[in-house]
């Protein structure tokens, strides 16, 4: 935490122990950055928030892991990825960040938005309509990097930040 950064009350900041997770994970807050109240911060992988940014209001969620299920049967694998939020970013209430995204500097994200891809141009972003995306486990796996760490209790892949 840099100078004058703050984490408010009732926030849940969590990370599972090994062998569920692996390596080092950081929650970094730049100067005068604030996480207000009642947010969920998943630190399976690192989250970095730049200077003068705010996770505002209530109930936003930052997720650095998720799961991909096979089309049939019990098969699934976990996908991990960092979240990077730049300088001078405002995040309204009840936003959800998915793994492996970057938010550039000088961005405002409206309340109830889902951030599922990187936001690379300064300005304002608001929720998108729900839409269908064709996908399957094999195609997804081809785009990811398999994590080869001894004693992990499940298959884990990593998604690099999409730019």
**65-to-30, 40, 48, 106, 108 alpha-carbon distances in Å:** 23, 13, 15, 26, 24
pLDDT in tens, 40-69: 999 999 999 999 999 999 999 999 999 999
- Quote the CA–CA distance of 54 and 5 in Å, as a whole number: 10
| φ, ψ (nearest 5 deg) of residue 94 | 60, 35
pLDDT in tens, 13-36: 999 999 999 999 999 999 999 999
Pair 118, 98: CB distance under 8 Å: no
Query: Other C-beta atoms within 10 Å of 102: how many?
Result: 18
pTM of the model: 0.89
Q: Locate the domains of the chain by residue range.
A: 6-158
Bond preceding residue 3 cis, omega within 30 of 0: no
- Options 2.160.10.10, 3.40.190.10, 3.30.460.10, 3.40.1380.10; CATH of 6-158: 2.160.10.10
């Amino acid at each position: 935490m840099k100078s004058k950064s703050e984490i408010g009350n009732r926030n849940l900041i969590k990370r599972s122990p090994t062998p569920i997770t692996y390596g080092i994970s950081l929650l970094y807050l730049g100067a005068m950055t604030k996480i207000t109240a009642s947010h969920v911060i998943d630190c399976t992988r690192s989250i970095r928030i730049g200077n003068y940014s705010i996770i505002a209001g209530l109930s936003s969620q930052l997720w650095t892991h998720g799961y991909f299920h096979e089309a049939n049967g019990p098969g699934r694998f976990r996908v991990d990825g960092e979240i990077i939020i730049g300088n001078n970013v405002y995040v309204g209430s009840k936003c959800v960040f998915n793994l492996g995204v970057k938010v550039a500097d000088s961005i405002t994200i409206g309340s109830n938005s889902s951030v599922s891809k990187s936001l690379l141009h300064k300005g304002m972003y608001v929720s998108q309509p729900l839409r269908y995306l064709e996908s399957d486990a094999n195609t997804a796996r081809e785009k990811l990097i398999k994590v080869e760490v001894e004693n992990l209790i499940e298959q884990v892949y990593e998604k690099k930040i999409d730019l």
